[in-house]
Structure 1
Amino acid sequence: MTADPPPDDGLFEEALDIVIRLQNAPANPVTLELIRHWRARSPQHDAAWREAAELHGMAGQVLSDQNVGGAMPSRRVVLGGMAGLAIAVGAAVHGPEAWLRLTADRVTATAEVARFQLADGTGVILGPASAIRLAAGGRVDLLEGAACIHMAPGGGRSFEATVGGLAVRASDAAFSLSRESGILSLGAERGSLSVTTPPGAGVRVGPGEWLRLDEATGRLERGRLLPGQFAAWRQGQLVAEDETVAAVVAQIRRWHSGRIIVAAPGLGARRISGVFDLNSPLLALEAVLHPFEARIRHLPPWLTVVSTI
């Protein structure tokens, strides 16, 4: 069986333009006929359409080959699919920020690192595109992104924080928390952390150690921090040690003003290690994806698509 030839960027952009035209006239038989003729011009045209349709399907309803290449799609299917795309992409850019501003006490913008103190003198550094909620009793809940917490030495008091299903209790400690693409992480620079993991098991994390939990699978990993790894994002660096591509791309995304979509099945679960410069997010993205021969397409002004086609 012969593989489809890879579409070039020009054809891919043409295919996306046709998707937009279909959105504007979902039941127009002229538009549907145009799509059929465009796809039939060459195998490259058809491959470009399939990839554009796959990207559309990730966001909402799948625009299937049967819908576009064969029988005329129903108005409900097309409108539902296009609405899904518009809502999902819009929510990806604006939705999380709007939701976080309603539920969080502190929110940072893309590429912004904020430093502030809590009422008890604890120092907090909040990473880009991140949010925390200050709960009752002084507890800090990390809702999204990354945070670094420095307790004043010698205070003799305890401090509580959460990220997803992980609950942390510390005393005279400096530690980091992060939540990236379903991966919960924490690391201790100073002091020891008492961590409660789902479904209630207790784990001790000592100075110089890290812990990582996959929310979907419940897989728990532990290890030693590499030199310079602790909250390296404070210096605009990403130090990854056997992390998933999805989690690494999620961290890069917080430094990039546009939207990055990984449209390659299975790629997000692959593992990678390395040091990447977050001050040049697209170059960092290229470096992350280079070992996997993934293809990056930039669709101005705000969309970057990663695929293996």
Structure 2
Amino acid sequence: MRIIALPSMSSEANKDRLFEEASTWFFRLQSGDLSEFERHTYENWLSESPAHRQSMTEVEGLLNAMQTPSKNIRDREQATLVPHVRKRRLFSPAFAKAASALMVCTALILYLQPALLQNFQSDYYTATGEQREIVLADGSHVLLNTDTAIKVHLQGNRRKIELLRGEAFFEVVHNQSQPFVVNADHVNTKDIGTAFSVSRLEDKVTVSVSEGVVETAIEPILEPVERLTKGQSAVYKANKLINRQSINTELELAWRDGRMVFIQATLDEIALQINRYRTGKLLIADPKLKQRRLTAVFYLNRLDDAINTLHRNFGIPVRRVTNYLVLLG
């Protein structure tokens, strides 16, 4: 039984993850200094699934496009060389090339790092591995977990927080005339004098109550209403309630104390969680290890020690390819 809820991946989220893995391998291959072990690991990864090969093809096409001028630009350049015709061009071919390259780079960055756009839209956000506490104008406290972004609307009798991504814990100053609502992907959580967390990870929204009472509902109908009390959580997916259960709030919200607690979690789930908090990528090179179950406690400020623990205590091979890329198996 797993105490800390670790998100499963939707097909779209899995596609994004594979794209990131393929991007990592692309740059390692471009560096030209892969060891024999690394090349063998890459070949195993590539042959593991057609989806891996498809992701690699997409990455190669997209990243190579950054180095290749657009055919349309070349055609326009050639079209300007017609004899005896003098036209005043608003932009030079060199400018067009630079603009095209900039557009490709911008599109690539936003594709690989959609969080950048969310950060721009947000009022407060955290980077990977960062936590941040905020005191709102009404006196309520918000603790942002790693890689989280929120928008704050405090106007008149309206108090609304939009959770754009990530996870946050709320200690609300209750005011009956000014309801406090947190919205995450169409899931509304209304405070009734409480402390609670809301997470928006992959394709799921999870609400967990540590004190008091909240009411959750789906926009725009806002029915049916789920009333959650201390020690209860609700999980939503695709605008539907998929699970409601009792929880151990100390374990569920251990991240507030700088810890990750796993009880019989798969290595795949553990790696996914470590990647949430650690800059870089922890990849499982041996598919047979993905479903191995472990029980462990890791500290968020010592995740490199956590990786060493996987080797020292559980015998899992660890290969540090770079400071960014670590392979298990």
- Is TM (by shorter chain) over 0.5? yes
**Runs of 5+ unmatched residues, structure 1:** 1-14, 23-37, 65-76
Alignment of 1:246-265 (within 5 A): 248-261=270-283
Q: Is 1:208 aligned to residue 231 of structure 2?
A: yes
- Please point out which of 135, 158, 170 is paired with 1:117: 135
Structure 2, unaligned stretches of length 5 or more? Answer: 1-24, 68-104
Answer yes or no: is 1:100 the counterpart of 2:118.
yes
For residues 236-287 of structure 1, give each alpha carbon's deviation from its aligned partner in whole angstroms, at most 9, with x where no partner exists. Answer: 1123467776665444223312233456769878877653322222443566
Q: How many residues align?
A: 261
Q: Find the aligned partners of 2:274 and 2:133 in 1 and give their Cα distance.
A: 20
**Is structure 2 residue 205 aligned with structure 1 residue 187?**
no
Q: 1:19 pairs with 23, 29, 38, which one?
A: 29
Tell me if 1:144 matches 2:137: no
Q: C-alpha deviations, 1:220-243, integer Å up to 9, x for none?
A: 223223262253212111234677
Task: Give the TM-score of the pair, scaled to structure 1.
Answer: 0.64
Amino acid at match of 2:297: V
Is the contact made by 1:181 and 1:247 (CA closer than 8 Å) also made in structure 2? no
**Structure-2 change in CA distance of 1:20 and 1:140 (3 Å):** same
Report the identity percentage.
21
CA distance in 2 between counterparts of 1:302 and 1:56 reads: 24
Say if 1:59 and 1:177 are closer, same or farther in 2 by CA, change over 3 A.
farther
- Distance in 1, Cα, partners of 2:141 & 2:38: 55
Render the CA deviation track for 1:157-177: whole Å, top value 9, x for unaligned.
421002224211112111011
Partner residue of 1:127? 145
Q: 2:246 matched to 1:224? A: yes
Q: How big is the alpha-carbon RMSD for the aligned residues of Structure 1 and Structure 2?
A: 4.7
Distance 1:116 1:138 in 2: 15
Q: 1:100 to 1:269 in 2, by over 3 A?
A: farther
Q: 1:181 to 1:246 in 2, by over 3 A?
A: farther
**CA displacement 1:139-190 (0-9 Å, x = unmatched):** 1111222111111257664210022242111121110111233332221111
Give the 3-state SS of the residue equivalent to 2:43 in structure 1. helix
Q: Could you tell me how far apart the structure 1 residues matched to 2:52 and 2:109 are?
A: 10
Distance 1:183 1:295, change over 3 A: farther
Question: Higher mean Cα deviation, 115-124 or 264-273?
Answer: 264-273
TM-score, normalised with respect to structure 2: 0.60
**Contact 2:191-2:213 at 8 Å conserved across structures:** yes
CA distance in 2 between counterparts of 1:243 and 1:166 reads 27
